[in-house]
Amino acid sequence: MLPLLALTLTRLRIGYSCTMNRRHRVKNRPRKRHVPDIGEGFRKRLVQIFGRESVSDEMEERICASYDATKRSALPDVVVRARNAEQICALMKLCNERLVPVYAQGACTGLVGGAVPFAGGVALDMTRMNRIIEIDRRNLTATVEPGVVTGDLQKEAEKAGLFYPPDPASHEFSTMGGNVAQGAGGLQCVKYGVTREYVLALDVVLPTGELIHTGSLAIKDVTGYDLTALMVGSEGTLGIFTRMVLRLLPLPEDLVTSLCYFRDAEAAMDAVSAIIAAKIVPRAIEFMDDECARSVRGGQDLHIPDHTGAVLLIELDGKRALIEDEMKRCVEICRSCGAFEAFEAYSAEEREKAWDMRRAISPALYKISPGGKINEDVCVPRSELTKLLHGIKEISGKHGVKIACFGHAGDGNVHVNALVDLSDEAEAARGYAAVREVFEKVISLGGTLSGEHGVGVAKQPYLAMQIPEKEMEIMRSIKKLFDPNNILNPNKMFPSQE
Ligand SMILES: Cc1cc2nc3c(=O)[nH]c(=O)nc-3n(C[C@H](O)[C@H](O)[C@H](O)COP(=O)(O)OP(=O)(O)OC[C@H]3O[C@@H](n4cnc5c(N)ncnc54)[C@H](O)[C@@H]3O)c2cc1C
């Protein structure tokens, strides 16, 4: 909740004190800031490109562009608001000549510091490029500008009886540009996959100022290297998206949801495997462990039976008769794996009640750990989830750190929350040591450090645990090829060698 609160304050243009901002910046700054060439001539050029009302170096504006949803922050020197690709081409040409860093920013809901302008320079606000250009019912595609809010695209598609499935929990705020840059996931990925699966074509402004087009409108396209796939998840380091063509699906007819309560996580994970093995693919299978169940029960008016050690939320979509039948089978499977209580939700009102439980987790964790939490989003093959959760319990005991786990069990994607007071140095150090061991466990199980949130600066210190030197070298060469002067979102993802 705190990151969201910070975000809301930021977006509402409420000015934080500069002293506080500077304190954060000194504490969280990842590396030395080089001084960009931002003189009067440069500002004049910006005004020529964007117009006076879309360029600002007022402190309030700079502060508003200094944060994402982590606690990291750093002031840009100037904020510009783009309306079209031509302006962005001109900006990048100028900044490439003058070696001024540029940071594309969507809604700044990122959880890894990706949009934070650590090297100063230009914060490029993309939120005014927010047109849904076309919903094409014949080809089942949407063409949008990058500032479109994910939830707005979903609603617009629904009006046409269509469905844009990727649904990060931030969908009411986050933008499509940010979603594509981060390769965002969400709750429905178990059945529908992540953002990557829905991007057909992109218009991209390169750091050197050229506009390129990747992909095509065709569903099948194997002509040349897949530059679209390279751009998805590139975290704003290779190019700035100015237009995107996205795949849509027919809107599923109906939804049913259930909550199943287990005594332990192992039984819940057995149920997840058994449901999939029964060839039922829910649209969502969300998990919460005993720590989350306890925290939710403590603070909310939600029914959580005594002795609950794990909860599964299962949601199916499709034709009513079929999904009602499949849900009954899911609940039977859960019971046979040890679920001792189940709540089946067939009406919209009942479904909301079931989702209230899932939504309550994050705020409840902040309530029981007001000093903060270290929040990671590791992902392992689904079959390794039980081993991961056992490993996390052991690590938690060894370091004396409470760790609460919840997330997308159907994808093997677990949000690991080390509940520590981050203002207490010793406690924070114990938390980070525990998290490093969780990462080691994840890698040993064939998993990944991040299933959804990306690297940004938050995961940089751990990247070498997963990516060997040769692969890292290839990635650095790609960055250098696209951005020879390292001006677009510099020093994110992997540490620069310069
Ligand atoms: C409460 C909450 C819940 C969340 N839940 C999820 C979740 O379920 N799944 C998930 O995957 N993430 C989740 N996130 C993380 C975040 O919402 C996603 O990473 C989202 O995709 C970021 O979108 P944004 O518009 O806020 O991007 P920003 O934070 O503004 O930017 C993120 C990155 O994208 C780059 N970028 C932005 N626009 C462009 C563009 N036009 N061209 C090129 N690069 C660009 C930026 O430079 C930056 O590196 C959550 C965050 C919060 C606060």
pLDDT in tens, 169-187: 999 999 999 999 999 999 9
* 308 CB-contact burial (10 Å; exposed 0-12 / middle 13-18 / buried 19+): buried
Asked if residue 174 has its Cβ within 6 Å of ligand 1, the reply is yes
Per residue in 423-461, pLDDT (tens digit) is 999 999 999 999 999 999 999 999 999 999 999 999 999
Asked if residue 457 has its Cβ within 6 Å of ligand 1, the reply is no
> What per-residue confidence (pLDDT) applies to 234?
98
What class, spelled out in words, does domain 370-444 have in CATH?
A: alpha beta
- Phi and psi at residue 402, in whole multiples of 5°? -70, 130
* Cα(92)–Cα(114) distance, integer angstroms: 19
Number of the ligand 1 atom closest to the C-alpha atom of 110: 29
Task: State whether the Cα torsion 143-146-148-154 is positive or negative.
Answer: positive
Q: Which residue has the tokens 């849904």?
A: 132
Number of the ligand 1 atom closest to the C-alpha atom of 179: 21
Asked if residue 228 has its Cβ within 6 Å of ligand 1, the reply is no
Q: Which residues pair with 254 in a beta bridge?
A: 318
Atom 35 in ligand 1: residue holding the nearest Cα: 236
Task: Report whether pLDDT(20) > 50.
Answer: no
Entry field: residues in the chain? 498
First-last CA distance in the chain: 37
Asked if residue 146 has its Cβ within 6 Å of ligand 1, the reply is yes
**491 to 100, 357, 480: CA distances (angstroms):** 13, 39, 12
Read off the pLDDT of each residue in 411-418 and give the average, rounded to a whole number.
94
Nearest residue to 248 via CA among 172, 159, 331:
159
Q: Are 109 and 88 a contacting pair, CB within 8 Å?
A: no
**What is the secondary structure of 158-193 as a DSSP string?**
HHTTEE-----TTTTT-BHHHHHHHT---TTHHHH-
CATH of domain 132-250: 3.30.465.10
Asked if residue 106 has its Cβ within 6 Å of ligand 1, the reply is yes
Nearest residue to 313 via CA among 298, 296, 330:
330
Rg (CA), the chain: 23
* Cα(210)–Cα(92) distance, integer angstroms: 8
Both tokens of residue 266?
């192992």
Asked if residue 110 has its Cβ within 6 Å of ligand 1, the reply is yes
Asked if residue 3 has its Cβ within 6 Å of ligand 1, the reply is yes
Asked if residue 489 has its Cβ within 6 Å of ligand 1, the reply is yes
Domain ranges of the chain: 2-125, 132-250, 254-362, 370-444
Q: Show the DSSP H helices in 402-449 as ranges.
A: 425-444
Ligand 1 centroid vs 178 CA: distance in angstroms?
4
* Cα(223)–Cα(477) distance, integer angstroms: 23
pTM of the model: 0.91
Q: Are 435 and 407 a contacting pair, CB within 8 Å?
A: no
Ligand 1 centroid vs 300 CA: distance in angstroms?
29
Ligand 1 centroid vs 182 CA: distance in angstroms?
6
Atom 44 in ligand 1: residue holding the nearest Cα: 236
Number of the ligand 1 atom closest to the C-alpha atom of 176: 25
- The residue to mutate among 80, 105, 109, having the most atoms of ligand 1 within 8 angstroms of its beta carbon, is 109
Task: State whether the Cα torsion 438-441-445-446 is positive or negative.
Answer: positive
> What per-residue confidence (pLDDT) applies to 367?
85
* Cα(331)–Cα(322) distance, integer angstroms: 14
Read off the pLDDT of each residue in 360-371 and give the average, rounded to a whole number.
87
Q: Is 311 helix (H, G, I), strand (E, B) or coil?
A: strand
- Phi and psi at residue 67, in whole multiples of 5°? -120, 155
CATH of domain 2-125: 3.30.43.10
Task: Report whether pLDDT(15) > 70.
Answer: no
Read off the pLDDT of each residue in 97-104 and give the average, rounded to a whole number.
97
Q: Which residue has the tokens 């099948």?
A: 220
In which element (H, E) is residue 48 found?
helix 40-50
- The residue to mutate among 105, 122, 235, 415, having the most atoms of ligand 1 within 8 angstroms of its beta carbon, is 105
Ligand 1 centroid vs 456 CA: distance in angstroms?
11
Number of the ligand 1 atom closest to the C-alpha atom of 236: 44
* Cα(207)–Cα(478) distance, integer angstroms: 13
Ligand 1 centroid vs 346 CA: distance in angstroms?
32
Both tokens of residue 61?
């504006």
Per residue in 25-75, pLDDT (tens digit) is 333 444 445 556 688 899 999 999 999 999 999 999 999 999 999 989 999
**325 to 69, 219, 274, 318, 337: CA distances (angstroms):** 41, 33, 16, 11, 19
Read off the pLDDT of each residue in 402-416 and give the average, rounded to a whole number.
94
* Cα(149)–Cα(326) distance, integer angstroms: 33
Asked if residue 104 has its Cβ within 6 Å of ligand 1, the reply is yes
Ligand 1 centroid vs 24 CA: distance in angstroms?
21
Asked if residue 238 has its Cβ within 6 Å of ligand 1, the reply is no
Ligand 1 centroid vs 484 CA: distance in angstroms?
25
Atom 34 in ligand 1: residue holding the nearest Cα: 178
Both tokens of residue 48?
């020529």
Measured from the Cβ of residue 227, the count of other Cβ atoms closer than 10 Å reads 17
CATH of domain 254-362: 3.30.70.2190
476 — alpha (psi -120 to 50), left (phi > 0) or beta?
alpha
Per residue in 146-177, pLDDT (tens digit) is 999 999 999 999 999 999 999 999 999 999 99
Task: Report whether pLDDT(124) > 60.
Answer: yes
Atom 19 in ligand 1: residue holding the nearest Cα: 110
* Cα(488)–Cα(420) distance, integer angstroms: 34
- Say whether 254-362 and 132-250 share the same fold: no
> Cα torsion for 362, 363, 367, 370, to the nearest 10°?
70
Instruction: Give the orientation angle of helix 40-50 with respect to helix 85-98, to 10 degrees.
Output: 170
* 231 CB-contact burial (10 Å; exposed 0-12 / middle 13-18 / buried 19+): buried
Instruction: Give the orientation angle of helix 320-336 with respect to helix 265-277, to 10 degrees.
Output: 140
Q: Are 217 and 281 a contacting pair, CB within 8 Å?
A: no
Q: Which of 323-327, 360-364, 419-423 has the highest mean pLDDT?
A: 323-327
Ligand 1 centroid vs 322 CA: distance in angstroms?
35
Task: Report whether pLDDT(87) > 90.
Answer: yes
> What per-residue confidence (pLDDT) applies to 357?
87
Ligand 1 centroid vs 454 CA: distance in angstroms?
9
> What per-residue confidence (pLDDT) applies to 164?
98
Asked if residue 407 has its Cβ within 6 Å of ligand 1, the reply is no
Ligand 1 centroid vs 395 CA: distance in angstroms?
30
Q: Are 183 and 168 a contacting pair, CB within 8 Å?
A: no
Per residue in 283-299, pLDDT (tens digit) is 999 999 999 998 888 66
Asked if residue 282 has its Cβ within 6 Å of ligand 1, the reply is no
Q: Which residue has the tokens 């809107």?
A: 251
Measured from the Cβ of residue 297, the count of other Cβ atoms closer than 10 Å reads 17
For the sheet containing 374-379, what is the strand order? 341-345, 254-262, 310-318, 284-289, 402-408, 413-419, 374-379
Atom 13 in ligand 1: residue holding the nearest Cα: 168
